Chains A and B, each alone.
Chain A
């Protein structure tokens, strides 16, 4: 390696909280060479973002650097004055953040925001700031940059906003870019476009990059070296390919294991110890009679009959058989959530039939369906386990709610017995039943949500991005739990997700949806191996491809 551009030695960061001082970063050391791309990978709470804020010296008031050195190009950043830091930020080291829309000033034209940075660092004068900003917008591949200069952030898509944030970060040609979860919350195809743009530009400008992400696959695909963090410490550091194929530490191996790859099976995600005790999955399973038949389903928002009404779902038809799992994959805005809400009878349809257990439930208004006998047979697991639990109800109360409402034959004792049975089914320790959501971890909350969904022995369970808000290690456990429950209880699944790689793990068949219509449908294995349409190919190509062992230089 050449002379390090950024050298962090024994860095510790403390946060003052009301329970005393908490050490967020504990004695970490890392080095970024010139032209190198370093990935910092970790699950939530690992301290990966705090590291970057410490380097930039933009920790909020409660945080302070408690020890160690940060050296950038010979300058000691950990003790630099705020005035000197201001010259470093933006000109020497820049940052790109998660959630691009919130990262831009909502009431200032995007071009001006780029120009602000150029003027601040004397890269432009008031006279030519506009011209230079437009040039920068063109560099990040924003179309019609002259016109877009005057746009406000709310007029742009999330991906476009991220390009603007990148333009701000790279405007003054810094030598180090820190990208903190730059693509989280963006669609896979947008994610690929944004990552490719970052790689192209940093290479063109001969910059070093730190990529901070929770996604090991993404990090391995784009970085030369990786640092894995857990609870404020560095667990392991190595070259991407070496680490990906020969992790030394147990934590890294577990993390790697839990990250779905193109060829992994659902059981592969589990740590070895859990895999050993998991129940064996049947090689093949039979699918029975059609359980749910959707015919010509339509949904139009806006006034009925109006021309400007947006057709969110157009003429959708599919069937789910007993014991079958169907995946519905698409990017945000494709209509998959609208579809699930209609099938779930939370939303009225504009047209079409939904036949469930021989009855056309589309004919029953959503508001009336709560009291329908089929309500209990059609249930759902929600995207965000935190958001889907009533904050003022204990776990037992949440699980017991459907029993209380719909299982009127049960008395109090029977309900309590059933709650215990459900807790055992989903692997929720009984002593957690009296806890409230804020006292449970993400995985525990997910279990409560699943227990509630299966309380009434549903025949069809809709899984709406059930793991999107979870860390990968928790995702692995939840996916396996869902797979177990399916076999144990003989349910059918409709699994809705943006992530082909995750859907594949649980589903027999997959439908790919775009602009409110199905573009492709087929057997999961075949569809992934030999996609028939360009759109599916694009989706597949957008999944980050970690380096192969053989391709190791």
Chain B
């Protein structure tokens, strides 16, 4: 019964290496199968770079007016042209990354934490917890979400923080519903029952055993949701809520440029719009890639 060498094997039992390497090989497989996902991770790195170091890298002060003549098309001096106040569009587009990302990351973080916790509790305990959170989520979902965000920002005050809260509120139902569904299908599976028999308390069963298992689909949701949160925040700025000029932000830049599109000054709209689109596209691609990684069968 004891012909084995205890120390070594158990040490490796607590620090598994094999599964990790298989995870990486799976990742490599997904990458090679779908090179677009590789591209998405490259773009992602670029966006993070722009958000972190953008203000130190750009050639001009994004707020400085008259660094060039007004409304100049793209040139070597001003890669993305200049706007009606003679500001450098390229500098503004790059610097805007930080603000746009900051808004969406904070909003998604809030809605993920709050949503997944209340969703998990509702899915695990059912009963009144479920009914109350269900009613809350249903009420949020009863509004067209962008319209609700408009209403919240209009009522609570036209500030960047309120944009974050409004975006968090309208994203909350997705996490709550997903966490609830994923938890409730697992609340009586074998390993959860076994965890109860092993003496785990209900909360430990929920957050120690079940929650790590619902993380993969939640990660996919986070990534897909990031894109949507960026779109949403930009949409609110576009109609004049939240971020105020002259702050560089993609939604506002498109809104300002909109007045010039019918007279042909396309660069004011196209460059910030493309930046916005690219950011959203990147997060959506990563989300799709993660979905493949997490569940090859559910590939859509």
Contact = CB atoms under 8 A, between A and B. Distances in A.
B193 A388 contact: yes
Interface in A125-165: none
Interface in A230-266: none
B197 A402 contact: yes
Contact of A391 (B6, B9, B12, B213): B213
Interface in A358-398: 367, 370-371, 375-376, 378-380, 382-384, 386-392, 394-398
Contact of B1 (A394, A416, A424, A439): A424
B195 interface: yes
Contacts of A398: 191, 194
Interface in B156-204: 189-191, 193-202, 204
Contacts of B29: 18
Nearest to B33: A18
B213 A402 contact: no
Contact of A390 (B9, B10, B197, B213): B213
Contact of B197 (A367, A375, A389): A375
A394 B13 contact: yes
B121 to A, nearest CB: 14
Interface string B190-227: 11011111111110100001001100000000000000
Nearest to A386: B190
A81 interface: no
A421 B194 contact: no
B260 to A, nearest CB: 51
Residue from B22, B33, B190, B200 whose CB has the most chain A CB atoms within 10 Å: B190
B190 A388 contact: yes
Nearest to B125: A367
Interface stretch (A49-57, A63-71, A306-314, A426-434): A426-434
Given A388-B194, A390-B191, A424-B1, A430 B9 contact: yes
A430 B209 contact: no
Nearest to A394: B16
Interface in B1-58: 1-2, 4, 6, 9-10, 12-19, 22, 29, 33
B12 A434 contact: yes
B18 A402 contact: no
> Interface residue tally of chain A, by bracket?
35 or more
B202 A370 contact: yes
Contacts of A430: 4, 9
A346 B198 contact: no
A433 B193 contact: no
A417 interface: yes
Contacts of A390: 191, 195, 209, 213
A384 B29 CA distance: 30
A420 interface: yes
Contact of B196 (A370, A396, A425): A370
A18 to B, nearest CB: 7
Contact of B193 (A382, A401, A416, A417): A382
Interface of A: 18, 344, 346, 367, 370-371, 375-376, 378-380, 382-384, 386-392, 394-398, 401-402, 405-406, 416-417, 419-421, 424-425, 430-431, 433-436, 439, 449, 452-453, 455
User: 4 shortest A-B CB distances, which residue pairs?
Assistant: A388-B190, A396-B13, A402-B198, A405-B199
Given A371-B201, A387-B190, 9 more contacts: A370-B199, A370-B202, A375-B199, A388-B191, A390-B195, A416-B13, A419-B13, A430-B9, A436-B16
25 contacts: A367-B202, A371-B199, A379-B197, A380-B193, A384-B190, A390-B195, A390-B209, A394-B16, A396-B13, A401-B200, A405-B204, A406-B199, A416-B6, A417-B6, A420-B6, A424-B4, A431-B9, A433-B10, A434-B9, A434-B13, A435-B16, A435-B19, A439-B18, A439-B19, A455-B198
